[in-house]
Amino acid sequence: MKKYRFLFLSLITVLLFINVYILVNRNKGFKYFPFKSYSQLYVTDSTLYLENVQFNNDTLALLFSLKLPATNYRLIVDEITNAGLISSDNKQLHIPLLKNIHSYQLIPADTNQLEITLQIDHSQNTDGNFTNEFIYCNLPGPQIKVSDYNLWTRGISSLNSNEVENGNELLAENTSAFSALTDSARLVEVCRLISKLRPNKNGIKASTVSMQPAYDQLKYAMQNKINLDCGNYSVMIHYLCNLLGLPSRVITFSGPAGNWQYGVHYYNEVNLREKQQWVLCDGVSNAYMPHDTIRFYNAADVYKMAHVNSFNNKSAYTFEGNSLKEVRYDSLSYWHSYYNRNNANLCYLHPGTGVQDGKLNYVKDFYSFDRNFDFYSDINQNDWMKICIKLAAFYLMLIVALTYFVWEINRNRKIDKNIVHR
């Protein structure tokens, strides 16, 4: 018996030492981060992408993620030749291919929907076989992953009835958001209201107010009682967007949790459904919806801009008083450049997640894969070997400790029975 007890206790001690070592060195690859790709994070309610392509002799079969919005497509080859009408088969299109490199443009014949552009090299080798190269498509894919878009529409479910009622009254009294016809117009009304709320340097500390519900933060901010920071602005924008049914999320920056950190900043992304684009809004900088002549920019786009110094020749919206102004983005982008130049992960908080988290959640997160946020990074990745070692050591310690506990109970029961029989 002593031998078994010694073996159990020795093994538990070794496993305990290993787990303590892992906890002390938790920032050296032992943490799991929920990294997502660009296509996963920037899904919209009508995300159309290529699931697969298949070459069959002189035909290309395209399989899409959704039923195609048009029934018939006009096929234009090399922007000149009209190759006839192509009919869609639910999620599929079959395109006749010409030899060598050509551009194929599929234009919806019966609706004003998205055009599909492809470039294919269908070249014949000297042995008579074909080499097929899928060079370009204006849709994402194939073989990409997307996440659940509905996740970003559930923010209002985290609000109680009083928060919804009070927030709706506030919006009705101070904005024209409920009469706006598009998501863009509704967002402009939200940003107009937020732009009027400026920090009071002598007011209540932002960190103190951040523990209050979003409506209370907004109410105190409208009374100019808070020394507002980016966290307060992000919570208020997210709250108002949720009330208006605008899919939105709070974004911050995350890195090691040791004795240093990357710069902390919070701002928002909102999905404009009529444009099928996610746009960036930053209340503390009074900078909204950065864009160029073609598209709006999101947080991941801005992150990439900061790394290649490409804020020039882009625009953003700001408010001067009650007036919406379009200005050069680089005139407002100082903090966007400041926080995005390092290797921090972009952290996309799930709806209902506060900007402050408890220590108990940090411990739970360390030993599980369940997260209330997603990460984006072009640089960082998970060290799966260390993560597996961490989980194996932790759960093995629990199993051994539980086994030892059961063994001791059974042993004591046997001893008690022997004493009774004597």
Mind listing the pLDDT tens digit for each residue in 21-74?
999 998 889 999 999 999 999 998 878 889 999 999 899 999 999 888 888 999
**Is pLDDT above 80 for 421?**
no
Query: Element (H or E) spanning 289, and its range?
Result: strand 287-291
Crossing angle for the helix pair 384-421 and 2-24, to the nearest 10 degrees: 150
Q: What is the pLDDT of residues 129-158, one digit of tens each?
A: 889 999 999 888 898 888 889 999 999 999
State the pLDDT at residue 90. 87
- Helix axis angle, 214-222 to 161-174, nearest 10°: 30
318-321 — which CB contacts under 8 Å span 24+ positions? 318/195, 318/286, 318/287, 318/288, 319/191, 319/192, 319/195, 319/196, 319/286
94-121 pLDDT, tens per residue?
999 999 999 999 999 877 778 899 999 9
Secondary structure element (H or E) that encloses residue 412, with its range: helix 384-421
DSSP state of 159: S
How does pLDDT run across 308-326, given as a tens digit for each residue?
888 989 999 999 999 999 9
At 162, is the secondary structure helix, strand, or coil? helix
What percent of the chain lies above the pLDDT cut of 90? 68
User: Residues 120-131: what's their mean pLDDT?
Assistant: 89
Q: Which residue has the tokens 């073996």?
A: 7
pLDDT at residue 175 tops 60: yes
Global model pTM greater than 0.85: no
pLDDT digits (tens, 9 = 90+) for 251-301: 999 876 555 667 789 999 999 998 889 999 999 999 999 999 989 999 999
Compute the average pLDDT of residues 340-367: 80
Which DSSP helix (H) or strand (E) runs through 86? strand 81-87
Give me Rg for the CA atoms of the chain.
Answer: 28
- Which is more confident, 175 or 27? 175
Confidence (pLDDT) at 358? 57
Pairing type for strands 226-227 and 204-205 reads parallel
Residue 356 pLDDT: 52
